[in-house]
């Protein structure tokens, strides 16, 4: 389960950015095509955050749908899988979203 390592990295990055202040909330953007299991991150978060600036923080995970732009016909379309072709049949496209894993925001307690 690589989500445990990902969660550890998220806690470390947010903890460093908080500079000693308590973190109340963390929001992640996770693409549905990223290969990351959001339920596993949510499951690991509380245990990984224990005894850190993130202990007791709320974790919000926003799942981002896959989208691409066809290089043949130019339309933008939803890609529920990595292999979804354009409506024109082309598999030549540029992925626009859906593979990201970003720490979008964090909310800190006033110090």
Question: Domains of the chain, with CATH numbers?
Answer: 3-66+98-108 (3.30.2320.50)
110 band by pLDDT with thresholds 50, 70 and 90: confident
For the segment 24-38, the average pLDDT, to the nearest whole number, is: 97
> Torsion-angle region of residue 56: left (phi > 0), alpha (psi -120 to 50) or beta?
left
For the segment 79-103, the average pLDDT, to the nearest whole number, is: 96
User: Which one, of 75, 111, 105, lies nearest residue 93 by Cα?
Assistant: 75
Give the tens place of pLDDT for each residue, 35-65.
Answer: 999 999 999 999 999 999 999 999 999 999 9
| 103, burial (CB in 10 Å: exposed 0-12, middle 13-18, buried 19+) | middle
């Amino acid at each position: 389960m690589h989500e445990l390592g990902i969660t550890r990295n998220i806690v470390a990055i947010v903890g460093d950015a908080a500079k000693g202040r308590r973190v109340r909330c963390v929001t992640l953007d996770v693409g549905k095509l990223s290969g990351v299991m959001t339920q596993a991150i949510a499951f690991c978060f509380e245990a990984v955050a224990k005894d850190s600036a993130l202990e007791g923080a709320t974790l919000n995970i926003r799942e981002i749908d896959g989208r691409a732009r066809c290089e043949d016909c130019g339309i933008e379309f939803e890609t529920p899988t990595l292999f979804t072709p354009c409506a024109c049949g082309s598999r030549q496209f540029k992925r626009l979203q859906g593979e990201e894993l970003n720490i979008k925001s964090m909310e800190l307690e006033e110090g």
